[in-house]
Structure 1
Amino acid sequence: MPTGAIVAGGRSTRFGDADKAVAELAGVPMIRRVADRLAGVAPPVDPGGAAASDGEAVVDDLVINCRPDQREAIGAALAGYPLDVAYAEDDEPDLGPMAGIRNACRAASDEYVFVVACDMPFVDPGFAAHLLDLAAGRDAAVPQLEDEWFQTTQAVYRSTPMADACDEALDAGKRKIIEPLFTLDHAVVSDAEIRAETTEHTFTNVNTQDELDEAEMEYQRVV
């Protein structure tokens, strides 16, 4: 199975002084909630209506992208995890999510990597599996919602081509997260296909304390 990569190196500026990656969501650090979705140990029902986990992992192992100063707290949050966990630290911080994805791809053990942000605790494992199927034989599969916004932090990439494309973009001073896709053979998952496979709730992210409170209420209804 592919590698699951959780990108957690952002500064969480809208969240306050705390690191949202390890903020507790219904008693469990948020990054572990995200990991649980991929490892098949998620709550039995998705409050947003997306497909529930069937108890099977959709990835074989995990790579956590983070800053060096986050490593200890994230390691504690994932202590004893049932999947192998490796770390891809940002050797040069604050280059943005493209650099985080690149570093995760470099550390991935498999040809393909499912990338998800640490603040997406409702990520649908069934949709992750669908993206992995679509990416087979290509360099990437990236969802695109009706608003034309690419969901690059919930997507599948072929590890080496994506890492190389990120390097090229960063070396050219290009920081937009979609830049690497311009040189890759990628499938675009349309809004209609997304809605046929899952719900938009899979992309819900937690950027503020208020959004954390809302997510906690949803989790408390199902656990």
Structure 2
Amino acid sequence: MKPDTGCAGVVLAGGRSRRFGGTDKATVPIGGMPMIGHVVGALVPVVDEVVVNCRPDQESALRAALSPREVTVAVDPIADRGPVVGLRTALRATERALAVVVPCDTPLVPSSLLAHLRTRARHASGAVPTVEGSVRPLPAAMHVRAGVAACSEAVGRGQPTLDDVVTALSPVVVPERDVRAYADPTAFLDVDTPAALAVAEATLARSSDADGRSRLERSTD
């Protein structure tokens, strides 16, 4: 691989899952597989490698949850500094030109939307979707170097948020009418509580393939 070619899929999984009762939501089963497995399964058709950002104490459990797929694990040198620092850590761990970024708690996001964001980001600094009238910072696609610079700019302001990264990145904002062509609002469900987990379980059950195979299982064929 030559530097600055291809696309990385970045999964942000370093949060403490406090609203989930302290259990690491990334490894909680949904439809018979860990939540993070659904996210990686959506990324695999779109990217050339997967980078998972996490705290040091999560690494072994996340590798086990994603086995047998090999992923690059970008461990935060200092835990609990927030998603912006985690995103920067992950972006620094790849030599790909582009990155598609997804949080670990959005198991319903479709590959088709991620592919569209990647396409829209090719001739810009990045691309983010409009959902229910608001610009969402994730999922997103971005040029890796621009993303690192935007994260650093946001960190320099103190107490950075992902919205600050979007401001610094100045990406293409994909209109909602275009987003709806690839995903309905349920695709953006954040599974950060047990109640949201139940909704995701029901949604996945309704949309499961006739052969019952998960996205991650199909992606490892």
TM bracket (short chain) = 0.7 to 0.9
**2:102 aligned residue:** 116
Q: Which segments of 5 or more consecutive residues in structure 1 lack a partner in the other structure?
A: 40-56
Amino acid corresponding to residue 20 of structure 1 in structure 2: K
Structure 2: state its 5+ residue gaps.
1-5, 213-221
How far the C-alpha of 1:171 sits from its partner, in A, is 2.2
State the 1:147 CA deviation: 3.5
Q: Distance in 2 between matches of 1:128 and 1:120?
A: 12
Alignment-derived partner of residue 155 in structure 1: 140
Percent of matched pairs sharing the same residue: 37
TM-score, with structure 1 as normaliser: 0.85
Distance 1:199 1:172, change over 3 A: same
> How many residues in Structure 1 have an aligned counterpart in Structure 2?
203
Deviation at 1:13, TM superposition (A): 0.8
Moved more, 22-31 or 180-189: 180-189
What is the TM-score normalised by the length of structure 2? 0.86
Task: After the TM superposition, list the runs of 4 or more consecutive aligned residues in structure 1 that deviate by more than 4 angstroms.
Answer: none
Provide the aligned C-alpha RMSD in A. Answer: 1.6
Equivalent position amino acid for 1:71 in 2: E
Q: Structure 2: which amino acid aligns with 1:176?
A: T
Partner of 2:160: 175
Offset at 1:174?
A: 4.3
Structure with greater proportional helix content = 2
> Does residue 96 of structure 1 match 2:82?
yes
Cα deviation 1:3-42 (Å, max 9, x = unaligned): 1111001111110131000001121111011111222xxx
Indicate how the Cα distance of structure 1 residues 175 and 200 shifts in structure 2: closer, same or farther if over 3 A, else same: same
When structure 1 is superposed on structure 2, of 114-123 and 175-184 the one drifting more is: 175-184
Per the alignment, in what secondary structure is the counterpart of residue 6 of structure 1? Answer: strand
TM-superposed deviation, 1:98: 1.2
Q: Describe the SS at the equivalent of 1:197.
A: coil
State whether structure 2 residue 204 is matched by structure 1 residue 216: no
Matched, 1:76 2:61: no
Structure 1, residues 144-172: CA drift from partner, whole Å, max 9, x if none? Answer: 22342x32220101111111221122123
Give the structure 2 partner of residue 136 of structure 1: 122
